[in-house]
Chain A
Amino acid sequence: LPLVKASNSLSLSLQAKMSRPVQAQRLEGIDKNIWVEFVKLAANYSTVNLGQGFPDFPPPDFLKEALVRALSGENHMLHQYTRAFGHPPLVKILAQFFGKLLGRDLDPMTNVMVTVGAYQALFCCFQAFVEEGDEVIIIEPFFDCYEPMVKMAGGTPVFVPLRLKAPKDGKLISSADWQLDPTELASKFSEQTKAIVLNSPNNPLGKVFSRGELELIADLCVKHDVLCISDEVYEWLVYDGKEHIRIASLQGMWDRTVIIGSAGKTFSVTGWKVGWTVGPNRLLQHLRTVHQNSVYHCATVAQEAVAQGFQRELELYGKPDSYFIQLPKELQQKRDWLVQSLDAVGMKPIVPEGTYFLVADISGFKSDVPDVPDSDEPYDSRFAKWMVKNKGLAAIPLSAFYCGAHKNNYNHFIRFCFAKEEATLKAANDILQKWKQEKTSP
């Protein structure tokens, strides 16, 4: 009799187990990803890919040479584990470099941590500081991973939009015309607010937050004792003589800010996946705990090469040969070229102050892609898919950078990446010109 009882209870608990999903609840609502879909579309259909954000021009020679030197050297130990929190030569130069920029003495061992791209740095921040009951303020439009990362950490994202101020007649809109409403921003801070994510220069708009705007955010952070996760991966890509201001350098902010950077964006090597965090030890110690329990080490040889890249840039800082001066100069030209290209055909560009992205208003091309009432999919997403399939030009819908509830607020914009060879931008122009001609000819 006991045997029968035992097997009954076993099968009952088994049934209960098998009726539950195998995956953990933390994955709920975060399985969709815009890139999986759009990267595939671009791969299958595009002849000109201005979609995903990566350069199609080569990395700088000095960096390629640094990697070759590292690989051809006697020291084969570069193929083995290095220090978990960052390869010593790299953290040392980062501490030196950012110490100089922030006007602080930084300890490479405690104020810097290397990560697998800025992406993993973001992950460490959310895992270290956000849990159930915490709110995290995210400024829309936002790099899409912030929302699912906050959710995976059990937090609640609270969105506040950049709003387009009335454009001046006849002038092109600038990313500077997209602004936070101070009252609206302040209203988003609550007792539950653990952190705000700042991304400046901003992907996708290209906005470079001004000192005044940063002070507004800083004041609220200090007042409400909130952390600032400052995603500054495009820090070197600022145009028209604008200055990238680091919020951590503002009053009261160093102690509550984690600065995130990226070798991929800094040195045009997105495939190396080397990123870093800079901040006070009091915060970084917890990032180290997440890091040592998730990936632990980052690849050694790429770190070695990036360290040498920074060494060169430290020596050339402020000089015309500096890559940090050359690259934005080159990209500004490409930006201007694409702006002209889009404006000429009636796609209204928002001129970005920074990053290598540009958002354009495609309302003028709506006749090609008619509205579908009651469609689940935002208009710009349908438009972008139609465009890549029919015109071979890949771009990303702006709605990808908004939360579910707000996807239809700005649904007639698409994002282009202009970190591309001249030939690529010319080819894009050809597609656009031909498209316009097709629309205007009878």
Chain B
Amino acid sequence: MLFASRNFYCLGIRTYQLQRDSLSRSIKLSASATMAFRHKNTRRIEGLDSNVWVEFTKVAADPSIVNLGQGLPDISPPSYVKEELAKAAAVDRLNQYTRGFGHPPLVKALSQVYERVCGRKIDPLTDILVTVGAYGSLFSTIQALIEEGDEVIIIEPFYDCYEPMVKMAGAKPVFIPLRYKNNGNSASSADWVLDPDELANKFNSKTKAIILNTPHNPIGKVFTREELQVIADLCIKHDTLCISDEVYEWLVYKGNKHIKIAMLPGMWERTVTIGSAGKTYSVTGWKLGWSIGPQNLIKHLQVVHQNTLYTCPTPLQEALAQAFWIDYKRMDDPDCYFYSLSRELESKRDRMAQLLQEAGLKPVIPDGGYFMIVDVSTLNVDLSDVDEKEPYDYKFVKWMITSKKLSAIPLSAFCGPETKRQFEKYIRFCFIKKDSTLDAAEVILKNWNKQTA
């Protein structure tokens, strides 16, 4: 009898005869002792077990630490959003299953909002899929459209899940960094750009998709029309799909406009656009997101969805639908939450930038999103004695958490292996925080130089 190599570990003996009552206890016991090898994980998840969040959210969970790390608001969601959830949960049938691809009132509301934004017809049943957060949309899109043999272009720094998701689908991530163009003025996210020739060289016949994130996490860059056109031209030329992660679409600051790449000529049919309730309404814990695109792409995401979790929670979808109607009706009004949140965050952004500058740091002012990156090498904190093979920014953040009681996220977590060195002097702060949190950060930053002097 031939044994598969993986079975060889177990004593070298495997019996396959039918032994019912005569199966001896000792064989049972020895089989259980050596069964570790057989229950290996699949290849698709090999090497995907570590995760920056699991590491840093644990460390920052200490309430005495001012947490500007993980991207979650500590401000309250708007009261009407919370009220709608209470109302929805009080309706008995809204506590049972709803339509798998998206609760009808929600997909209807989404189609209305986005028809307005996009200026094109969006069919709520065929062009939209509701998922468990934008995260779930990314997963559904990648599982639906990406496989072994494919290459996927990822712009660095990138929201960290893109790389493992592409790998889990069996495909090869191809990285291209945003590069800082030093023009002498105070750093803005707009100074970080793609080199068009470098980008063009990344495309080949295997390129199945490019993942775009605008507004960008972590830098806060809002891609301009011209920059999007460069990407679009390449997508069309190489018949490449575009996965456009636009979760921060409403968080765009003065002087900037969020442009949807799907609206550029030739792009609707090849783009899946992803949005997030968590980021739109400051309810990250609701874990609702959506994918919008042409039926011929969305239908495949729906197949993934029906074979992974089937349906998303009903009361949350109902509440979200109602919240969207409230804001849809006032999309011409500056009080619409889509715009008021952005204004609120702009002043927090400016305050955060000022605090960092006063501490002698040079933050990159974001044009969008609620993150800000800063070069900490200017502080000259010597961590060479820290006996770790970790990049500098990991060591810095851990040191900052323990000695300054302030947390952030190291930027090299958002980079491919080749560029980690380039970005290891940056850390990322989240500023969607209430005033008291920013006050506490201010105290730490003001005292920073005093302590290290």
Residues of A with Cβ closer than 8 Å to B? 10, 13-14, 16-18, 22-27, 30-31, 33, 35-36, 39, 52, 54-59, 64, 67-68, 71-72, 76-84, 116-117, 119-120, 123, 127-131, 145, 148-149, 152-153, 182-183, 186, 191-192, 219, 222-225, 227, 251-252, 255-256, 268-273, 282-283, 285-286, 288-290, 292-302
Residues of B within 8 A of A296 (CB): 133, 135, 161
State A300–B286 Cα separation when bound (angstroms). Answer: 7
Interface residues of chain A: helix, strand, loop or mixed (majority): helix
Question: B35–A286 contact, CB under 8 A?
Answer: no
Q: What 6 pairs between A and B have smallest CB-CB spacing?
A: A271-B314, A13-B205, A300-B285, A24-B147, A286-B41, A58-B92
Residues of B within 8 A of A295 (CB): 132-133, 135-136, 139, 287, 309
State A258–B123 Cα separation when bound (angstroms). Answer: 40
Residues of A within 8 A of B97 (CB): 52, 54, 270-271
Of A77, A148, A271, A299, chain B has the most CB atoms within 10 Å of the CB of A271
Min CB distance, A89 to chain B, in Å? 14
State A202–B377 Cα separation when bound (angstroms). Answer: 61
Residues of A within 8 A of B315 (CB): 271-272
Question: B45–A290 contact, CB under 8 A?
Answer: yes
Question: A22–B297 contact, CB under 8 A?
Answer: yes
State A26–B145 Cα separation when bound (angstroms). Answer: 9
Question: B287–A123 contact, CB under 8 A?
Answer: no
Question: A293–B168 contact, CB under 8 A?
Answer: yes
Residues of A within 8 A of B3 (CB): 191
| Contact pick for B308, options A68, A120, A129, CB 8 Å | A120
Q: Which residue of A lies closest to B304 (CB)?
A: A27
State A400–B108 Cα separation when bound (angstroms). Answer: 30
B453 at the interface (CB under 8 A from A): no
B361 at the interface (CB under 8 A from A): no
Residues of B within 8 A of A283 (CB): 39
Question: B135–A27 contact, CB under 8 A?
Answer: no
State A183–B42 Cα separation when bound (angstroms). Answer: 30
| Contact pick for B313, options A191, A224, A271, CB 8 Å | A271
Min CB distance, A300 to chain B, in Å? 4
Min CB distance, A284 to chain B, in Å? 11
Question: B284–A129 contact, CB under 8 A?
Answer: no
B296 at the interface (CB under 8 A from A): yes
Interface string of B207-220 (1 = CB under 8 A from A): 00000000000000
Known: A223-B23, A270-B96, A272-B95. A64 touches B144 (CB 8 A): no
* Those of B288-303 within 8 Å (CB) of chain A: 288, 296-297, 300, 303
| Contact pick for B41, options A123, A129, A222, CB 8 Å | A129
Question: A128–B95 contact, CB under 8 A?
Answer: no
Residues of A within 8 A of B313 (CB): 116, 271-273, 299, 302
Residues of A within 8 A of B20 (CB): 182, 219
What are 6 residue pairs bridging A and B, where the CB atoms are less than 8 Å apart in the complex?
A24-B147, A64-B89, A127-B45, A255-B32, A271-B96, A293-B165
Question: B311–A273 contact, CB under 8 A?
Answer: yes
Question: A71–B85 contact, CB under 8 A?
Answer: yes
State A127–B15 Cα separation when bound (angstroms). Answer: 28
Question: A18–B95 contact, CB under 8 A?
Answer: no
Min CB distance, A318 to chain B, in Å? 27
Q: Which residue of A lies closest to B301 (CB)?
A: A23
Min CB distance, A347 to chain B, in Å? 26
State A145–B98 Cα separation when bound (angstroms). Answer: 17
B403 at the interface (CB under 8 A from A): no
State A271–B82 Cα separation when bound (angstroms). Answer: 18
State A215–B243 Cα separation when bound (angstroms). Answer: 49
Question: A186–B18 contact, CB under 8 A?
Answer: yes
Question: A56–B93 contact, CB under 8 A?
Answer: yes
State A10–B15 Cα separation when bound (angstroms). Answer: 56
Question: A36–B306 contact, CB under 8 A?
Answer: yes
Question: A222–B28 contact, CB under 8 A?
Answer: yes
State A252–B32 Cα separation when bound (angstroms). Answer: 7
Question: A282–B15 contact, CB under 8 A?
Answer: no
B262 at the interface (CB under 8 A from A): no
Min CB distance, B103 to chain A, in Å? 9
Residues of B within 8 A of A127 (CB): 42, 44-45
Question: A128–B45 contact, CB under 8 A?
Answer: yes
B446 at the interface (CB under 8 A from A): no
Min CB distance, B317 to chain A, in Å? 9
| Contact pick for A222, options B32, B39, B42, B74, CB 8 Å | B32
Min CB distance, A390 to chain B, in Å? 25
| Contact pick for B92, options A39, A59, A129, CB 8 Å | A59
State A271–B96 Cα separation when bound (angstroms). Answer: 4
State A57–B303 Cα separation when bound (angstroms). Answer: 30
State A299–B288 Cα separation when bound (angstroms). Answer: 8
Question: A77–B311 contact, CB under 8 A?
Answer: no
B116 at the interface (CB under 8 A from A): no
Question: B41–A81 contact, CB under 8 A?
Answer: no
| Contact pick for A223, options B31, B132, B161, B168, CB 8 Å | B31
Question: A117–B310 contact, CB under 8 A?
Answer: yes
Question: B48–A289 contact, CB under 8 A?
Answer: yes
Question: A292–B73 contact, CB under 8 A?
Answer: no
State A36–B99 Cα separation when bound (angstroms). Answer: 9
Min CB distance, B268 to chain A, in Å? 14
Question: B45–A299 contact, CB under 8 A?
Answer: no
Known: A27-B304, A80-B285. A128 touches B41 (CB 8 A): yes
Residues of B within 8 A of A128 (CB): 41-42, 45
Known: A82-B285, A223-B19, A293-B139. A271 touches B309 (CB 8 A): no
User: Which of B49-57, B174-182, B327-335, B341-349 lies at the interface with chain A?
Assistant: B49-57
B90 at the interface (CB under 8 A from A): yes
B121 at the interface (CB under 8 A from A): no
Question: B169–A293 contact, CB under 8 A?
Answer: no
